[in-house]
Amino acid sequence: MKKEIIALALILLTLAGFYYLVTSDLNSIIKTIVVLVLLVACSYALQGLLGIEGEYGLLLVRTKKGLQLIDRIAKTNRALWQFVADLGLVMGFGLSSMLLFKRNADAKTILAGMFCLMLFTQFVLPFATPLVVELIDLPGGEKLGLASGALAQTSGEGNGLLSLFVAFLSFLVFFSFIFGGVALAGALALFLKASTVLLAVALFIYTSLIGVPDGGVLAQEGPGAAPVLPGINLPLLEGVLALAVLLVVHESAHGILARVCKIPLDSAGVVFLGILPFGAFVEPDEKKLQRMDVDSQNRVLVAGSTANLLTASVFFVLFLAFYYGVLALHPSNTIGTSYVEVVGVLENGTAKGFIQPGMKILEWKGVGIKTVEDFKKAVNDTKEGDIIEVVTDKGSFSLRAGKEGKVGVQVLQKTYTFGDYVRELSSTQPLMLFLFNFLGLGFVLNVLVGIVNLLPIPPFDGYRILSLKLGEKKLYGIKIMDAIVALIVGAFLANLLPWLWI
């Protein structure tokens, strides 16, 4: 009993510390590190106090509950579950999935899978990236907006080169989806981001060696990968709920397909990182799974990602219904319009102490400001020493212009989004913000996990699926799987490099 009381006190203290940290004004990177240390320490302490199984700072709580329900679901229509898993394999690996089937792939399954893949990539996936930027507080999120703005301002000869580059990328992405499904497209996105990071590093080193300014080339690159934690870079309640849905459907799908293939389930359970639910698992009899034919193993392995992509599609439909419902009740003509936001104030600028980051600049000397071009033109028309009336969404300020008519603010052109509108409405209708966050996170997190889980690196399911096909095969004396893993891991590590300078 004494250990249980100590454990309860530890949980309450960890909860209090977690709440204090997530509501503090600490830098997001420092906050993430401190929270992770706190949660891992809590895990190890609970492991020692209560004898809970754990590894690498995670707690594994096993149970047999829910296994009978999985059994009943698996028996409802075995052929349907097998067909859905096969569709998932085609969506995951495109036309190359024909090489993964042990037997000759059924033409109807391939056609149906490719049709679903095209629907998903053309109508569902394009909405994921803007929602990721809006819902997940990722380092470098503003750099995405800055890049978009820079592209929008390119013109003339450079615009033609840009058009060719965009056309090439569009062809490359389309080809990757057709041939390799979401797995190849995800790997390609990882490589493209890694290449921009490595190019920035190379330019920084080169300019440093020849003694010329680097133009802030490193500062323009944000990380391509980051931990996702409720309360840190996800809304706390909505993040926990969305992750719970994601984990339940992913692991339940593995369990259902295992039982469809007559593979026993040893246990199920939940993974905790300290006090936070961090994952879930369903454990099939691994020895029996490895003795099954390749098609059965593939179905079990791909089931989790298939369930995530299907769940993402359901959340997408619900999010669209919410979107049109809100606009029907509260029409708006501002969504999609541009505005200019202050993202930095220079220490020696005349705006210091008056204008703050996050303010929207509405007018400059009586001139309306909606784009960065409007702002630049207004500044160019201002002379040193002029008294400027700057109107923002937080009030008006009279400032004296410094050199070249500047006041020392850094701005970024942004677009007024549906999320911005919902946040305004939430001051009187808080349920709207909850639904926006929950439905949006349910959509984007399932998309991200569904795709990332198919990447061919341990311990993801994509690695085991490709290993079944490639096994010990070699090319020029090198194991093909080892080469693929090395390339993907290298790209992933390159995506993490910007954490060193952000």
In percent, how much of the chain has pLDDT > 70?
Answer: 91
Name all contacts of 285-289 with Cβ < 8 Å and 24+ positions apart: 288/263, 288/264, 289/258, 289/263
Report d(CA 130, CA 243) in Å as an integer: 19
CA 332/CA 287 separation, integer angstroms: 58
Q: How far apart are CA 129 and CA 444, in angstroms?
A: 8
**Is-cis flag, bond preceding 459, omega within 30?**
yes
Identify the residue whose tokens are 């390749």. 294
* Nearest of 464, 492, 56, 460 to residue 250 by alpha carbon: 460
Kind of pairing between the strands at 360-364 and 387-392: antiparallel
Kindly report, residue by residue over 23-56, the tens digit of the pLDDT. Answer: 887 877 788 889 889 999 999 999 988 888 888 8
Q: What is the DSSP letter of 2?
A: H
Using one digit for the tens of pLDDT, what is the confidence trace for 173-213?
778 899 999 999 999 989 988 988 898 888 889 888 888 76
pTM: 0.84
Q: How confident is the model over 377-404, as a mean pLDDT? A: 86
pLDDT of residue 301: 96
**268 near 251, Cβ under 8 Å?**
yes
Provide long-range contacts, Cβ within 8 A and 24+ apart, for 1-6: 3/49, 3/50, 4/50, 6/49
The closest alpha carbon to 97, from 466, 459, 467, belongs to 466
Residue 62 pairs in a beta bridge with 269
Chain segment 459-499, per-residue pLDDT in tens: 899 999 999 988 767 776 678 888 999 999 999 999 988 88
pLDDT score recorded for residue 144: 46
String of DSSP letters for 245-309: HHHHHHHHHHHHHHHHTT--EEEEEEEEETTEEEEEEEEE-HHHHHHS-HHHHHHHHHHHHHHHH
| Structure-block tokens of residue 316 | 């997408």
Strand-pair category, 409-415 with 338-345: antiparallel
* pLDDT tens-digit map of 253-301: 999 999 999 999 988 888 888 888 877 888 899 899 989 999 999 999 9
